[in-house]
Chain A
Amino acid sequence: MLDIFNAFDVSASGMYAERIRMNTIASNLANYESYKTDGTPYQKLEPVFQAVYDKNMLSDGLVPVNVSEIRQSNGFKLIYDPSNPHANAQGYVEEPNINVTTEMVDMITATESYQANLSAFNMTKNIAQFTINSWT
């Protein structure tokens, strides 16, 4: 309807994207050392963000963000540990490619972005309320 609702949608898309990222981080941390039933390691989940450049929205200054897919990465860490039941013929174990530090930093970034988007959302709401209140 009004231009304001599109502005709300942009902030909401940003918050949604960051929440998806938080979910994948939580999954990755929980499955830090887990394996699937067929013996292959857990594949790290990565969300792919994409900016939506639509001509009409761009001339209005609005560029929402879209989570195009949640990718399962194919990389694994190889650790030499022959006594491990999952070791292959050469004695190497394939472990999920998850670095705890990286995940924690990503989590902090995601939280910060989420809060910034939320704060901006509230600001938009205040602008709308102020405008309507000033209507004689």
Chain B
Amino acid sequence: MGLFSGVDEVVPYLDYTWLKHKIILSNLANADTPHYKELNVRFVPFEKELALKITNPKKQIQPVQTGPHFDILEKESGLIGNDRNNVSIEKQMAQANANYIAYETYMKMITDNINELNTAIKGQ
């Protein structure tokens, strides 16, 4: 039944946003850990999963962890200090704020959809 097709469309984006938030938390906690490299999340959309064309094999970044739809990557470049740590706190905080707004937006989309369904069903 296509009852929840609108909700199910947004849920993967919500999952991605939450994972990104956790990655940012990890980066901030390890902002002073020696040899720690910043982590990032790559979103592999369902349709394109099987059709990823590798244009230049040498440039393919190997993920630290693969999941069903997300890859977690380590950032190679960026400013590196004496302790070989390349986390930029300012950039992480900027991403955290943008991410939070995205989370609220997706959650509101889903909640409004649910409320519409309930209203239509109850007929009021």
Contact = CB atoms under 8 A, between A and B. Distances in A.
Q: Is the interface of B mostly helix, strand, loop or mixed?
A: helix
Interface string A82-120: 000000000000000000000000000110110011011
Contacts, number: 101
A131 B17 CA distance: 13
Interface of A: 3, 7, 10-11, 13-14, 17-18, 21, 49-51, 58-65, 109-110, 112-113, 116-117, 119-120, 123-124, 126-127, 130-131, 134, 136
Given A116-B89, A124-B21, A136-B111, A21 B29 contact: no
Given A14-B31, A130-B104, A59 B25 contact: no
Contacts of B72: 58-59, 61
6 contacts: A110-B32, A113-B28, A126-B100, A130-B104, A130-B107, A136-B114
Interface residues of B, number: 37
Given A7-B21, A124-B25, A126-B100, A109 B32 contact: yes
